[in-house]
Structure 1
Amino acid sequence: MELLPSLLSTLKSADPDSLDQEYSTVRSRTIALKKDLGLTSEDGALKENIKKNRYKDILPYDQSRVVLSPLTSDSDSDYINASFIKGASADNKYIAAQAPLSSTVTDFWRLIWQNNIKVIVMACREVEMGKKKCECYWSAPQQSIAFGPFTVYSQGETRPNEDLVIRNLTVTFQQDSRSLVQYQFLSWPDHDVPYEASGVLDLLERARTSQGARTSPLLIHCSAGCGRTGVICALDYIHDLLVTGQITADFSIMKIVLELRLQRPSAVQTKEQYQFVFTAVACLFQRVLRSASRPAYSNLPEGKKEERKKNTSSSDRLSLQTNMSDTYAVVNKSRHSQPPTTSPAYSVVNKPRSGSSSSNRTLPLSHHYDNDGPGSSAAPVYSTVKPRAKPLSQQHSATPIYDTATPANHRPGEGPIASKDNGEYQLLPADLPPPTDDDYEDVTCSAPGTASLCSPGGIGFNCRVQKPRGPRDPPAEWSRLER
């Protein structure tokens, strides 16, 4: 515990440019160690197994892959795109898996049943950017669905916040039933990072509570089972180091990520995700230090608990904005096919901190993958846009900075994302000043029981003129008779 303040200071002072260089070192060392250790992916590349991979270049290592047992018949294949990952205090603490395909849903449930999985963390949506990212392997609430010999019943689902869906499932196989819980995190764009770290840390707290003292692995998957999945594994691994007292002076996130990548290919897949690990770990250390200096949470009154939650979330958000120079969010993918060396494939919105420059500028970012072949283009696939800072009066009602499943043909008027001008989409200004108290004047009728133009539902504008109380006598000249 005494090391945490100094480690936290180091994490906060980490420079984004140095982290980019560090991530490049991780990638190069992964390639060298993979060769030295003789890590292979031959089973996943077999002709009968290649169609079971969602992405042909993300194959599990033979040395750490999950081998399925023949549950349903002797002809069952033993292959699934999933890997065992060691924990801080136990072997096979996690299973990192790709999201199931329509042809591998039964195999996915074979994996769950064989390893007695009790908790699933799903870090993706079923559809993202108009593409199918995960086959639905659960049923609608209060309904059952069969996947081969497995029958899955959904007891119900809850949404404690806009980021999370919790599903309680029961799976039955050969008259035997088991219960498990699935946590689906909705606010994590593919190849990108969430806006704030608190949502991911809260997700892991819930998952650990559901897991309890069980020794069965925690099943974690996104679409490919490497980028977002690797980040979650790294954060939970570091949490275990904390609670088991294994944090030492030579604590290194780079070493942890490198170790994960030798068990699951491309774990923590992008430099933005690598930076997010540092930010989230800093938030985690802050939480631990706060809890150590305050009374036990369970002994606090309910009002104090809510205040503690709000302060924690605010602090996590502040830490993320302070330590990361860029927060990215996928908004739209261009419909037109552009050469990778001349045009970004995605547009990305950067939510600035208060007081940031009001000028807009675009910075090219390089986006690398472990599976880039030799000589492949290192062209930027993201661009950043920095809008004007919002006034302080509007910061408490910030709108989401990304759309996790916005199709490429988003039309104007469907949402506040963009307006169309000459065929191009541009960001709408979100920093309009609030109306002042002098814009309108409220006047209340003095006579009780009479209607007013200022009353709810009235259509008047100048409320200084009140409605006459009764009919008036006509002018005298109106009553003169014409002769």
Structure 2
Amino acid sequence: MELLSSLLSSLRTLETGTLDQDYNMVRSQTSVLNRDPSLTTEAGALKENIKKNRYKDILPYDQSRVVLSLLTSDSDSDYINASFIKGASSDCRYIASQGPLGSTLIDFWRMIWENNVKVIVMASREIEMGKKKCECYWSPVHQPASFGPFTVCSQEETRPDEDMVVRVLTVSYQQNSRSLTQYQFLSWPDHDVPYEAAGVLDLLERVRESQGAHTSPLLVHCSAGCGRTGVICALDYIHDLLVTKQINTDFSIMQIVLNIRRQRPSAVQTKEQYRFIFTAAACMLERVLRSAGGQRKPEQRTTRPAASSSKRLSQQSAMNDTYAVVNKPKQPLPPAADPAHSVVATPGFSRELPSSHHYDNDASGAVAPVYSVVRPRAKPHSLPLSATPLYDGEYHLSPGKEAKGKKERISSLSLPGDDEYEDFSSSSRDITGLDSPGGIGFNCRIQKPRGPRDPPAEWSRLER
């Protein structure tokens, strides 16, 4: 217990600058991994598998990828964008997967069935900030849905609190049926962190209770299967170290993250997510020490009363495409005149972009969410012509299109993790207006004159 107390004290005293330096070290070590000839991504880069990847630059390592051997049709292949991750006490403790695409739903259920998955952790919503992040791979309650040869039925759907949905699913394949449980965490914005650690730790406690003595891997996914997924795997790994009493003086969260990144590319994607692991680990140690000292007492959590399941979920599904969740931050925002802040209107919602990124649905305050008013689509010229990247390293501003015959360049702001990595469809090209006159991304059609006008005098001059 003295070691745990000392470790807790060191976690509490770590400064933000130190953690940022540690994360920069993680990124530099990852650059070395990317040049390691023993780690390859050849399967995910094959022509027939390209469309099975939600993001172009997130491909599983061949050495740790999930290989599908269950064949349900002649067109089935062995590829899915998912990776095995070792745990503290077992070799295949986790499956870190991208959220399934419409074209990979059957592959997703092939993976679940073949690996006898009992518990799924979904760390995303189906739609976030107007973007599809994951296809729905389950069914409404008591309404079976078919995914190829698999029939899935939701037996029960509950909301233990505002942050979580629990679904008990039954999947049938060739006259055999199995039951599994899905935990969906709703309060985790993409590329960001929850506003408190207790909610995630409570989720993981429920997950471990459902997993019980089953030795099958825990399936964890978000959208890309990297950022939020990596954080969950890291926190559960630390918990296993505590339970199996493998914590010693050389305990290092940085090494845990690096080990996970050797098995799943880009796991734990941002500095904020890296810092969150330290915060949650400290909270976890506090719980263990209180429990060992016979002073088990729940943390003071800011909870919101959960609405009835059917009513709340229907409201959410109706608002997902139209509204963005806005929460009041813990501290007041600087005035609008502050040059470090600018208001950017994006299709379907508006949000404020501070110098460091925050999402509309970032639950950074302790108040109930308020749904923002829909604002009109922003014109491209309302965006800044130059901007600094909102994210580090793995996210960049996508270059704009050059106008023919002109030297200037129009830069467009691209939110990382969305269009920048996904394949563009013809509809998306139409929306951006790349085919409009001038080719600079907006309509520059010349207006008709409002009324008749006389031709110039020189047109009617008689030639002599």
Same fold (TM over 0.5): yes
Deviation of 1:38 (Å):
2.1
3-state SS, counterpart of residue 102 of structure 2? coil
Amino acid at match of 2:355: S
Q: Deviations over 1:165-223 (max 9, x none)?
A: 00000000000000000000000000000000011000000000000011000000000
- Partners of 1:113 and 1:146 lie apart in 2 by 14
Segment of structure 1 superposing worse, 243-252 or 2-11:
2-11
The answer to whether the Cα contact below 8 Å between 1:261 and 1:267 also exists between their aligned partners in 2 is yes
1:352 to 306, 330, 334: 330
- Partners of 1:401 and 1:35 lie apart in 2 by 44
The answer to whether the Cα contact below 8 Å between 2:327 and 2:368 also exists between their aligned partners in 1 is no
Residue 392 of structure 1 aligns with which residue? Answer: none
Deviation of 1:14 (Å):
1.1
- Partners of 2:333 and 2:170 lie apart in 1 by 52
Residue 348 of structure 2 aligns with which residue? Answer: none
Residue 301 of structure 2 aligns with which residue? Answer: 313
The answer to whether the Cα contact below 8 Å between 1:96 and 1:229 also exists between their aligned partners in 2 is yes
Residue 390 of structure 1 aligns with which residue? Answer: none
Deviation of 1:398 (Å):
3.6
Q: Deviations over 1:317-347 (max 9, x none)?
A: xxxxxxxxxxxxxxxxxxxxxxxxxxxxx99
Mapping of 1:51-450 within 5 angstroms? 51-294=51-294, 308-309=297-298, 311-313=299-301, 351-352=329-330, 360=335, 383=355, 398-400=366-368, 410-411=374-375
Q: Deviations over 1:273-305 (max 9, x none)?
A: 00111101011011111111126x6xxxxxxxx
Distance 1:33 1:313, change over 3 A: same
The answer to whether the Cα contact below 8 Å between 1:23 and 1:271 also exists between their aligned partners in 2 is yes
- Partners of 1:385 and 1:245 lie apart in 2 by 38
The answer to whether the Cα contact below 8 Å between 1:363 and 1:383 also exists between their aligned partners in 2 is no
- Partners of 2:334 and 2:75 lie apart in 1 by 63
- Partners of 2:335 and 2:16 lie apart in 1 by 21
3-state SS, counterpart of residue 139 of structure 2? coil
Deviation of 1:9 (Å):
1.0
Segment of structure 1 superposing worse, 226-235 or 23-32:
23-32
The answer to whether the Cα contact below 8 Å between 1:226 and 1:267 also exists between their aligned partners in 2 is yes
3-state SS, counterpart of residue 107 of structure 1? helix
Residue 335 of structure 1 aligns with which residue? Answer: none
The answer to whether the Cα contact below 8 Å between 1:164 and 1:184 also exists between their aligned partners in 2 is yes
- Partners of 1:19 and 1:11 lie apart in 2 by 10
3-state SS, counterpart of residue 223 of structure 1? coil
Deviation of 1:18 (Å):
1.5
Q: Deviations over 1:55-105 (max 9, x none)?
A: 011000000000001331344100000000000010010000000000000
Residue 374 of structure 1 aligns with which residue? Answer: none
Amino acid at match of 2:329: K
- Partners of 2:54 and 2:366 lie apart in 1 by 36
The answer to whether the Cα contact below 8 Å between 1:43 and 1:79 also exists between their aligned partners in 2 is yes
Amino acid at match of 1:67: V
Q: Deviations over 1:238-297 (max 9, x none)?
A: 0000000000111110000000000000000011100111101011011111111126x6
After superposing on structure 2, the runs of 4+ consecutive aligned residues of structure 1 that deviate more than 4 Å are: 346-350, 357-365, 400-403
Distance 1:190 1:70, change over 3 A: same
- Partners of 2:356 and 2:251 lie apart in 1 by 32
Query: Aligned-residue CA RMSD in angstroms?
Result: 3.1
The answer to whether the Cα contact below 8 Å between 2:96 and 2:219 also exists between their aligned partners in 1 is yes
The answer to whether the Cα contact below 8 Å between 1:151 and 1:172 also exists between their aligned partners in 2 is yes
Segment of structure 1 superposing worse, 129-138 or 27-36:
27-36
The answer to whether the Cα contact below 8 Å between 1:68 and 1:78 also exists between their aligned partners in 2 is yes
The answer to whether the Cα contact below 8 Å between 2:325 and 2:369 also exists between their aligned partners in 1 is no
Amino acid at match of 1:164: M
Deviation of 1:161 (Å):
0.4
The answer to whether the Cα contact below 8 Å between 2:231 and 2:273 also exists between their aligned partners in 1 is yes
Amino acid at match of 1:222: C
The answer to whether the Cα contact below 8 Å between 2:183 and 2:207 also exists between their aligned partners in 1 is yes
- Partners of 1:235 and 1:267 lie apart in 2 by 12
TM-score between the two structures when normalised by the length of structure 2: 0.69
Distance 1:72 1:385, change over 3 A: closer
Residue 307 of structure 2 aligns with which residue? Answer: none
Larger-Rg structure: 1
3-state SS, counterpart of residue 355 of structure 2? strand
TM-score between the two structures when normalised by the length of structure 1: 0.66
Amino acid at match of 1:102: G
Residue 30 of structure 1 aligns with which residue? Answer: 30
Amino acid at match of 2:166: I
- Partners of 1:60 and 1:118 lie apart in 2 by 23
- Partners of 1:42 and 1:81 lie apart in 2 by 12
